[in-house]
Structure 1
Amino acid sequence: MSYPQGTQHHLPVQDAPKPRKFGALAWTSLILGIVGLVGSPIILLNNLTAVIAGVGVVLGLIALFGSRKILAGIGVVLCVLAVVATVVAQNAAVKALDEAFNGTTNEGTVSGGDAKADAVKSPPTWDQRYTWENGLAAEVSAPAACTPGEFAIPSDVARGVKVTVTVVNGSDKPFDTGLLSAGGETQFAGKKAEKIYDSSGACGDSALATATVLPGKTFTYDLAFAVGAEPGELQITLQPDFGADKAIFVGQA
């Protein structure tokens, strides 16, 4: 005896899911890019995160040939931005450190004579007033000839000149002139000009007299320098404290 066979139903065969090619690399690139961006503003640490971002760029470029192209592209972009941000942050840090240790130059205002001038383009000269941001100001008089005495230091001076420095305290706090760096970077005709120490002669002692200048008050003292026998350009640098803006007075002597 035979029995009728029922209709057989076959389940459709499902294709096995295709593995996502380089998917892990795409995700890794994205994560490294995020880490690189987060670490880019942090000095010292950003050296490490920049290297990590560089690795992320390589992995992301490889992953672009896989199935996660959009994800890999985002990872590459983030990694490149992280490297760029790190370079910008480090350059800014170097500039800030340089200003902190060496100070800026002639970023204050100059007045005297005709009108205010741009100190960067037109450095202050004799009898002009240079004003720092906090209101402290200084003037340097035109150099006058002086003859060093027998016991002056240095002893082999071809020609001596003397200037008068006037400190004007336009700030709201007392100023200690002992903080003022004056004469250490003086140049004449492109060469270093030495201070003259001549306590018993006409040039006088160039050691800075320490004084506290109250707000609204002034203080003056003399500096003498050994210069060449022939007239030339004299450059005198004043700096009110370590790392502050430098006022460079330039003129003939």
Structure 2
Amino acid sequence: MMKKIAGLGLCLAALTMTACSTVQASHSDSAPAGVNAGSASEPAQDSSGTTQGTDATFGTAYTWDDGLAIEVSAPEPFTPGEYAIGSDGYSDFVVFTVRIVNGTSENWDPSLFYATLQSGNQEASQVYDSGQLGDSPSTSLLPGREVQFQIAFGVNDPADLVLEVAPDFTYKNVIFHS
């Protein structure tokens, strides 16, 4: 029994060390293209002009030092469907397109991605609408591949938005804004 408790303690210590370390990052105008990118008319952007920081503007990309990149589009108006969840109490809604490129050498689990939004001086409500937005990605993203999905929120002020995202708990959070 003591060996199990000691082993559990070592596992918790290792998890804590992992959770406390964050991957450094930079941002650029566009995330690099993944090998599975659709046939877009836009060429891949060179990320050599990246800068250090923990914030980025909507429409630009943020790349961590290990190569994982997130690009968040500018917000667009959104109308939730009849069966949407999280839309009660709001009359204004926005949607963002999120594109994540796995430029690392390891598989990345997109199910750990999270986002929160502040609108005006209040927390916004994430809207879940699989009929219009589809489902969040859950298949592991292989090195060099990318995934794109949409997230929507009920907001108090569509002109004042601050979106905080993180790929998972080991990465430093990034704040996107206008």
Question: TM-score, with normalisation over the residues of structure 1?
Answer: 0.51
| Residue of structure 1 equivalent to 2:82 | 150
Cα distance in 1 between the residues matched to 2:83 and 2:90: 12
Larger Rg: 1
Q: Check if 1:108 corresponds to 2:25.
A: yes
| Residue of structure 2 equivalent to 1:220 | 148
Cα distance in 1 between the residues matched to 2:169 and 2:123: 21
Are the counterparts in 1 of residues 119 and 158 from structure 2 also a CA contact under 8 Å? no
Could you say what the CA RMSD is over the residues aligned between the two structures, in angstroms? 2.6
Are the counterparts in 1 of residues 109 and 141 from structure 2 also a CA contact under 8 Å? yes
Are the counterparts in 1 of residues 94 and 158 from structure 2 also a CA contact under 8 Å? no
SS at match of 2:136: coil
Cα distance in 2 between the residues matched to 1:186 and 1:138: 16
Higher relative contact order (CA 8 A, sep 6+): 2
Are the counterparts in 1 of residues 93 and 158 from structure 2 also a CA contact under 8 Å? no
Cα distance in 2 between the residues matched to 1:131 and 1:215: 14
Cα distance in 1 between the residues matched to 2:128 and 2:158: 21
Q: Which runs of 5+ in 1 are unaligned?
A: 1-95
Count of paired positions = 144
Describe how 1:66-77 pairs up with structure 2 within 5 A: none
Q: 1:247 aligns with which of 171, 174, 177?
A: 174
**CA offset at residue 100 of structure 1?**
1.6
| Residue of structure 1 equivalent to 2:41 | none
Describe how 1:48-87 pairs up with structure 2 within 5 A: none
Are the counterparts in 2 of residues 100 and 244 from structure 1 also a CA contact under 8 Å? no
Q: Check if 1:160 corresponds to 2:93.
A: yes
**CA offset at residue 148 of structure 1?**
1.4
**CA offset at residue 244 of structure 1?**
2.5
| Residue of structure 2 equivalent to 1:36 | none
CA gap 1:195/1:124 in 2 versus in 1, 3 angstroms? same
SS at match of 2:85: coil
| Residue of structure 2 equivalent to 1:30 | none
Q: Check if 1:191 corresponds to 2:122.
A: yes
**CA offset at residue 118 of structure 1?**
3.3
More helix as a share of residues? 1
Are the counterparts in 1 of residues 58 and 73 from structure 2 also a CA contact under 8 Å? yes
Are the counterparts in 2 of residues 168 and 219 from structure 1 also a CA contact under 8 Å? yes
SS at match of 2:125: coil
Question: TM-score, with normalisation over the residues of structure 2?
Answer: 0.70
